Structure 1
Amino acid sequence: MRVLAAMSGGVDSAVAAARAVDAGHDVVGVHMALNRSPGTLRTGSRGCCTIEDALDARRAADLLGIPFYVWDLSEDFVADVVEDFVAEYAAGRTPNPCVRCNERIKFAALLDKGIALGFDAVCTGHYARVLPGPRGPELHRAADAAKDQSYVLAVLDADQVAHAMFPLGDAPAKERVRAEAAARGLPVAAKPDSHDICFIPDGDTRGFLADRLGEEPGEVVDADGAVLGTHTGTYGFTVGQRKGLGLTRPAPDGRPRYVLSIEPVRRTVVVGPAEALRVDGLSAADAVWCAPRPAGPVEVHVQVRAHGEPVPAVVEATAGDGLEVALRSPLTGVAPGQTVAVYDGTRVLGSATVSATR
């Protein structure tokens, strides 16, 4: 097969490309330039889109003896990931930009371009597996549960899964991948993992949003509407948050308070006790299925965070692209805007975006 290997400049994507070469595929490496400031260096950065990353990807490709290109997808990234991130927070929701990047950049813009150029598959360093099934390729969790990244890939549809390749899905542990990289002489073998949000390298999400949305002062209130403090923008909060609430009055019982809901139109943040965060059901929209769409209620497991525990639930696809989720075990602190991924055992069935909780 002709394989387009997405090479971020990290150890995972380098080893994934190497394994694709070993498997006999015709591999071409590509680095996605997502940063609109290409001169950005890694110094002080916790992201994955620096000029040093592009150079690391090129060195790995040279060592593997494969062609290498840099594709500028920065305009797509800003429009589909960064601006979406800002708009979601402005609307009082909590998005996951890594999910959006996989959906709209790595497996939409990149895959579409690759297919148009005659490639058969896109190869990435994600920890997940594509396994053969009776009705076609299936997306499954990785063998290493600690590194499983199937949650952020649950937005892929069946056609995208059929054109995806995850050579690290069977890796028993990240340490083995690093050891393999070292044995291959890849210069990124000991390179630290990227983390946090790549386009907010200093980790100051509230400051990033304030620069783009400006100050929108409002009140922090309890469930009865009593004013407990003030804020400079509802975008600085997310459901379940405990710290940085700016409260001027302690709770009568002395217990911690958490963000229960965010009302951007009224510029209000509602706080309350931890037990008020427990939810038994979810409504979600924009459902995407990489398995056949359920014809009725089905017993499954759902996951609402990248490294969260899956919980048993009953899900039912509703009119359009809606999804109703009845939880068998309550979840805590689920925010509108989060992705709910649906699993049958290790298999990913699909996902949707949480619109409401109950």
Structure 2
Amino acid sequence: MALDHSDRLNSLGFAKPPAETRVVVAMSGGVDSSVVAAMLAEEGYDVVGVTLQLYDHGAALAKKGACCAGLDIHDARRVAEEMNFPHYVLDYENIFKDAVIDEFADSYLAGATPVPCIRCNERVKFKDLLETARDLDADCMATGHYIQRKMGPHGAELHCAADAARDQSYFLFSTTQAQLDFLRFPLGHLPSKDATRALAAKYGLSVADKPDSQDICFVPNGNYAAVIEKLRPGAADPGEIVHADGRVLGQHEGVIHYTIGQRRGLGIGGLEEPLYVVKLDVENRRVIVGPKDMLATRTVPVREINWLGDEPLGARKEWQVAVKVRSTRPPRDAVIRPRADGTAEVELLTAEEGVSPGQACVFYDSDGSRILGGGWIWRG
């Protein structure tokens, strides 16, 4: 006679034993996703590891410190062997180029400052890979992201990680409700990265001491301009550095070398006042500079909004929230005013500096814990 497990949920939230619960783990080859896979395997789940090959394998093999490279595929496979669960490598190179790399290059050429990691989560990992997990008859998909999924009165909610220093909510704002229902984030409650490494050591994983990746995976050494010049020959055409008052202060070697808010490396020394990049005029190949107070912004237009609130975004004329306009900044008090066309205007109660088109504006509840979604900053 079969046992009735309906009154008991397992650690992933299903009313059946772990052995009958299939979970696909997105494995980058790093310590975080490796610990997730090992933890779930040890708990007795039916774990299937999947690693994505996202860009040129030959070039990747020589490059350490970035996710999804050749060395990382090898590391993910080793963890699967150590913990005795199946592991697959999927070639997503074309999907990744079309969905992430090309837009990254075009955004930079348009004077924006893109965040490709968000697009990768949105268009590759939580879209195509998630569909692959469903095709494999998985009950859910788990990742090594530092974020928490909690059950609320209206269903699954997205909350910040317990460790604020590791929180990845800024990069996951575009996770939809349907995706959130299928996803699990087993590391979000951990107090620190040291706790993750301690688990890796406990499971005897070969990646326990592997360093964290720092760069965007397809941008070696953080050299964006070199990647864009390779993808878009002629992208680094020279032009003028112009003061906001109209004075030509110097020459530059391509707008793609500059970002909004940049102060160092402008090549226009000898001036009395410190100057910052306040605008990129791509059409005229001009870098506009000015004093710091020109960077202050209170009105932020956003589009491509993903909303995770309990009520529809358009149910109210205004929402009192907190927002992040950069991943490294704490949430600040703001008001969202939805528009009929699906965009919104965000008013920051305190002006922020360096708000840049192409970055994300992520919405949080007033105490900064729950993620209510977000959108992409544009010029308006």
Both structures adopt the same fold (TM-score exceeding 0.5): yes
**Which of 320, 328, 349 is matched with 2:372 structurally?**
349
Q: Which ranges in structure 2 are unaligned for 5 or more consecutive residues?
A: 1-20
CA-to-aligned-CA distance 1:174-206 (integer Å, 9 cap, x gap): 001101101110000000000121101232112
- Alignment partner, residue 259 of structure 1: 277
3-state DSSP of counterpart to 2:294: helix
Instruction: State the TM-score, normalized to the length of structure 1.
Output: 0.95
**Which of 127, 137, 141 is matched with 1:118 structurally?**
137
Q: Which has the larger radius of gyration?
A: 2
CA-to-aligned-CA distance 1:30-70 (integer Å, 9 cap, x gap): 11111223463245x43223211011001111112111000
CA-to-aligned-CA distance 1:113-165 (integer Å, 9 cap, x gap): 22233222221100001100111100100011110011101111111111111
2 CA distance for matches of 1:305 and 1:24?
39
CA-to-aligned-CA distance 1:315-344 (integer Å, 9 cap, x gap): 122223312101112111010010010001
2 CA distance for matches of 1:38 and 1:115?
30
Q: RMSD of the TM alignment (CA)? A: 1.5
Matching of residue 47 in structure 1 with residue 70 in structure 2: no
3-state DSSP of counterpart to 2:155: coil
1 CA distance for matches of 2:327 and 2:183?
20
Matching of residue 184 in structure 1 with residue 203 in structure 2: yes
Offset, 1:283: 0.4
Matching of residue 17 in structure 1 with residue 17 in structure 2: no
**Which of 70, 78, 84 is matched with 1:65 structurally?**
84
Matching of residue 154 in structure 1 with residue 173 in structure 2: yes
- Alignment partner, residue 184 of structure 2: 165
Q: Please show how residues 326-341 of structure 1 align to structure 2 within 5 Å.
A: 326-341=347-362
3-state DSSP of counterpart to 1:21: helix
Offset, 1:356: 2.8
- Alignment partner, residue 247 of structure 2: 226
Segments ≥4 residues shifted beyond 6 Å: none
Query: Contact between 2:53 and 2:93, CA under 8 Å: does it hold in 1?
Result: yes
- State which drifts further: 284-293 or 186-195: 284-293
Counterpart of 1:349 in structure 2: which amino acid?
L
Matching of residue 139 in structure 1 with residue 158 in structure 2: yes
Instruction: State the TM-score, normalized to the length of structure 2.
Output: 0.89
Counterpart of 1:332 in structure 2: which amino acid?
E
- Alignment partner, residue 104 of structure 1: 123
Matching of residue 174 in structure 1 with residue 193 in structure 2: yes
How many residue pairs match? The answer is 353
Query: Contact between 1:285 and 1:322, CA under 8 Å: does it hold in 2?
Result: yes
CA-to-aligned-CA distance 1:240-298 (integer Å, 9 cap, x gap): 11122232x643xx222111011111111110111111111100111112334322211
- Alignment partner, residue 340 of structure 2: 319
Q: Which ranges in structure 1 are unaligned for 5 or more consecutive residues?
A: none
1 CA distance for matches of 2:46 and 2:350?
47
